[in-house]
Amino acid sequence: MSTTTLINNGLQISYDDLGHGEPALLFLHGWCANRTVFRPLVERRGTHRRTLALDFRGHGQSTTPANDFGFDGLVEDALAVIEASDAERVVPIALAHAGWAAIELRRRLGARIPKLVLLEWIILEAPAPFLATLEAFQDPQRWEEAREQLLARWLHGVDNVEEIRFVREVMGAHGYAMWARAGREIGAAYAQAGSPLRELARLDPPVPTLHLYATPPDPAYLAAQQAFAGDHPWFSVHKLSTHGHFPMFEMPDEMAATIERFVA
């Protein structure tokens, strides 16, 4: 695995580059995370095709800018990695709300983004309790309690050591500034688009899209996605049989195989 650093508008953006073959996979982590969340998948997919995994600005080994930023900045980082890689076709593998950035990459690059893989995303309309949590992240008096409640919910019933370490030591290490930014940007995206499925349906032409997820376990959530897929043949959903919010730590082999079948 080769770790590379590029300069994007004065910021150092770090990414891993492994393997050969197109379309390349571009792993995009969510807010308050970093590229190590994908290590189990990158290790498996990198032996079969070109695999890129970056740290967005302000995360992991990439530079934290002096000025504020939002999803547009994350998109710029992803575009810079794509161009630096010289990959002609790239399939984003986006965790959670990095899906908004993945959709924008398709909008900007068109056929160079032939497919999308979305992981563990609230792909329907955001429920009211989640929107309330996003608001709490932006409150200096409430953000820490809201973060702790979210992390505890993600780890409920989880016994995978690496998953626990990632949630506590990586995501839990980010402070108010990044969690408030995440709350603001995610909330604004849902307010503007309504839901990720609605935003995907607005793309013309549509892009083949796979949603691969483990939580929530609610059968109605899966049924709603299956109903959408029935009306939109370009969309498909795959439910994983684990309960952690980061199933790549628990079921990397099934996830890697499912992604490869879809991409190939």
Pairing relationship of beta strands 11-18 and 51-54 according to DSSP bridges: antiparallel
Question: How many other C-beta atoms lie within 10 A of the C-beta of residue 21?
Answer: 11
Instruction: Mention every residue, 6+ apart, whose C-beta is less than 8 A from residue 194.
Output: 125
Of the residues 59, 97, 211, 245, only one is catalytic, namely 245
- Using DSSP's 3-state secondary structure scheme, residue 190 falls into helix
The sign one gets for the Cα dihedral 119, 125, 130, 136 is: positive
Structural tokens at position 51: 């695999």
Residue 196 to residues 98, 158, 166, 187, Cα–Cα distance (Å) = 11, 27, 26, 12
- Using DSSP's 3-state secondary structure scheme, residue 90 falls into strand
Pairing relationship of beta strands 24-28 and 2-8 according to DSSP bridges: unpaired
Question: How many other C-beta atoms lie within 10 A of the C-beta of residue 199?
Answer: 19
Question: How many other C-beta atoms lie within 10 A of the C-beta of residue 7?
Answer: 11
Closest CA to 41 of 78, 82, 1: 1
Amino acid residing at 112: R
- Is 156 labeled as catalytic in the residue annotation? no
Residue 133 CA to residue 143 CA, distance in Å, equals: 8
Q: Which residues are catalytic?
A: 245
